[in-house]
Chains A and B, each alone.
Chain A
Amino acid sequence: MNNEPPIDKTPAENTELLDRRLFLRSLGKWSGAAVVAAVAGGIWMASSPKAVAGWINRRGVVRGGGWINGGGWVNRAGGWINGGGGGGWVNRRGGGGGWINRW
């Protein structure tokens, strides 16, 4: 399995990911969740063993460099949707933003 750390995306790359998601949604044949999973853009830490760090980070037990801070269902800093600037279903309290990061 691939446990490589997530690659930070540039704003242009994030825009491209968003465009791809919007295109897929516009087809009307895929759910929003499936679109997000399919266009993860190489950022997918929610389920990696090392992403336990992400869970820990949510409540501030461990912070700082070196941690994979990209996912986990309770991770404010990232998560399953992670379309740019954070996201995820637990991310409504901080970070993140656009409509695609919510449901």
Chain B
Amino acid sequence: MPQEANKPLVFLRADSKEEFHDQPFVVVVSNRSDLSRWLRDSSPALQWIEVEGLLGDPEAWALAAQGEDEVPLDVILSAPGREYADLYRLVDVRSVRDVRVSMPAAPGFLRALRLAASLGLPVRLLPGQPTAEALEELEGALAFYLHDPMVEAPIEFFHSALAWMRGAPTGSLWSVLEEDPAIFQRDEIKGSQRLLQTYEPHVETALPRDSVPGYFARLVQQGAECVSCPWQQPCQGYFKWPKATYSCHGIKKIFMTLQTAAAEIGRDLAECETKPV
């Protein structure tokens, strides 16, 4: 495999002085003028634009709805319970470019997730270490993802976790959710290595680069509940960061629901194969 295959993806602030010609990068914008400038960027190294805090600005989305075959947008909802109604602004945008919505599992996120899915937008749901309240919403979100006929686009991390349980070669949640610092390098975006999955700003959430395997190995060595967890392979200690003492009881219920669904789908498919043509 060529060396480039393992090149990380670098996240840059819109006003960054860095220049990348052959290094893939994502630019993070948080105001309309920067968005406008980067929407016109033709660098093939620019993979997508991460848009923070602009969902309430209709003019920004009017700009983004122009053009054709343009750079994708990852739209961040930091407070999905409040911002969800503005998701309608992305309807016109998605007709000209790829749009994904990313949000933390913060209180009220389910409304945003449902609306994004109804608009056909893929969702990256960042669970972090969910509270009891968030876990309840996660259970609702998972049922919605699994069974609602309206859901056609992926909702991560459910989507990859279900695929893993059906035998697909997914990565760990760290990579699925784009939080593995060895791959997704947010060095310039200070303090936000794991910005999206915590709403406790005082908690240090950044993992050192290349530290996911080391962190997971330490968890196992210290006898964390990961040792006997049936989902340690796809999880790799994701839910034990930043607090290693976090109880995964509620998360295991989520995984169990996914496992049960995967098994039921397996039985459905077996029935399909035994039916006469």
List residues of chain A with CB under 8 Å of any chain B CB.
1-4, 6, 19-20, 23-24, 27-53, 55-56, 58-62, 64-68, 73-74, 80, 89-90, 92-93, 103
Contacts and interface: CB of A to CB of B under 8 A. Distances in A.
A27 to B, nearest CB: 6
B5 A66 contact: yes
A2 B236 CA distance: 13
22 contacts: A1-B170, A1-B171, A2-B170, A19-B272, A32-B151, A33-B145, A34-B147, A37-B159, A38-B162, A38-B163, A43-B168, A44-B163, A47-B156, A49-B171, A53-B4, A53-B5, A59-B24, A59-B47, A61-B4, A67-B1, A80-B122, A80-B159
Interface stretch (B78-86, B172-180, B221-229, B238-246): B172-180
A48 B171 contact: yes
B265 A30 contact: yes
A62 B171 contact: no
A95 to B, nearest CB: 13
Contacts of A53: 4-5
Interface residues of B, number: 63
Interface of B: 1-2, 4-9, 22-24, 43-48, 69, 71-72, 98, 100, 120, 122, 144-156, 158-160, 162-163, 166-172, 175-176, 180, 182-183, 233-234, 236, 261-262, 265, 268-269, 272
Nearest to B261: A34
A56 B4 contact: yes
Contact of B272 (A23, A67, A92): A23
Contacts, number: 186
B69 A49 contact: no
Residue of A23, A29, A89 most packed against chain B (CB within 10 A): A89
Given A73-B100, A89-B98, A61 B22 contact: yes
Given A49-B175, A73-B122, A32 B149 contact: yes
B5 A47 contact: no
Contacts of A93: 69
